[in-house]
Structure 1
Amino acid sequence: MNYAKAYKLLLRGHWTLLGMSGVGKTHLAKLLGTQGKCYHYSGDYRIGTKYLNDAIVDNIKQKISQNDDLAKLLDNNAFSIKNHVTLDNLSSASDFLGKVGNPEQGGLPIDEFCRRQLLHREAEIKAMQDVPKFIEKSQAQGYSHFINDAGGSLCELDDEVHKTLFKHTLIIYIKANEANESTLIERAQTHPKPLYYQADFLKQQLDIYLQENHLIYIAQIDPNAFVRWIFPRLLKHRKPKYAAIANQYGCTIDSQDLYQCQNADDIIKFISEALH
């Protein structure tokens, strides 16, 4: 890694935050933002409002069409549908991504599920390619820090995306410690939510799940049960990928230590020591 460049990006305040959902990326961005210095760019927000907006609205319309009365009202333009995504509410985008499995239990057929996964991948690449443009925008508006709050699936994208980000930002991997990992896994058990999976990883895990549960078809899978089962494996799959990206393009910090930081100065000192 080019350490001189990394320090320059650190001091300039242009950072990409990497890690699983729930490890503290948004917390870090908000701490910096309390002093009015931080432009918070959310990759997931950009995906939901820009690159998947039409697909999300179509998904909502498709669900409404299953109710005859609502479908008639929609056809008569009695009401309109708008995708309302915020930094704290990405539920419509998550619902579009969906879960694979039995349609009678809310699952998607495998072909449709994979189609949506691919759309998400393409949207995430575009959202990350937008980062340089939004850095310029933030500077024009007088912000001293730019935080790219990237999705947990950034590690699944091609290295060209990571190289592009490192041209403009220091990549900081927020590593989940054992306690934090347990919390993430527990949350996935109690509130299984749609996730993005790299295609080969998904195929491999589906084959294992079918075999372990003596199932023949993917359409027999309980969607929520599969998410609960696969999440710890997804976490294990991504951890070395996160570490490799951080080693090449930035640094690694511990999620528990991050939550000890009280303000922006604490964070900058903490990351500087981690990079050193």
Structure 2
Amino acid sequence: MRRKLAAGNWKMNGTGASLSEISALAKMYPDASVDILVCPPATLLDRAAHAEQASAVLVGGQNCHAATSGAHTGDLSAEMLRDAGATSVILGHSERREDHGEANEDVRDKARAAMDAGLTAIICVGESLQQREAANTLDIIGGQMSGSIPDQSTGENLVVAYEPIWAIGTGKVPTLEQIGEVHDFIRSRLERRFGEGVGRSVRLLYGGSVKPDNATEIFGVSNVDGALVGGASLKAQDFAGIIDALQKA
């Protein structure tokens, strides 16, 4: 059985005062039946990891460099994230692909580095509104998966997050049928590439305007093993509504 995962991506939000939200979350879920992950900005990672090292809340990074070290000013390696207390790292988010020009090959190289460092790579895939309207969604997702996911992937070191770009932070959510179609497609592609055992063990997350009031129906969709949550993960109370829905799913 795949253990469900509620992952929060804080993006470029949060200062030291925001650590109280992670502490509040830890107090709410001392022994959760699902995995809870918060990915704060890098400035908070070490503090968050050490503050919650005895709790059920895990912490992760939002990006890493493909190299283990070197002359890469402003970058962080996967080993550095691991040393700071991270268990996972988000890679290939549409905001990285668009704002920083990251190609599938870049994401794959980063994912390899993350896996080599003992981190779980949460690889994001998703289509733009133009691609959705042109009925190219599955072709886009398939290409991103082929180019971004390393051959060394397993159910332990890989999570795939489907985030339609047009739904991120917009309040727009695909229909349940659209979410199910993509998640079933991702599952079938993973099984075909890695075999049934590995393919069925990889957790698939949905991300894009997930909120407490729509989480229950989303978690009822085929092959949705949890969520990658943006804005709603910044406040413990909001994130808790999504976690509660996932625990009941």
Task: Calculate the TM-score normalised by the size of structure 1.
Answer: 0.32
Determine which structure has greater relative contact order: mean sequence separation of CA pairs < 8 Å that are 6+ residues apart, divided by chain length: 1
**Higher strand fraction: Structure 1 or Structure 2?**
2
Task: Calculate the TM-score normalised by the size of structure 2.
Answer: 0.34
**Higher helix fraction: Structure 1 or Structure 2?**
1
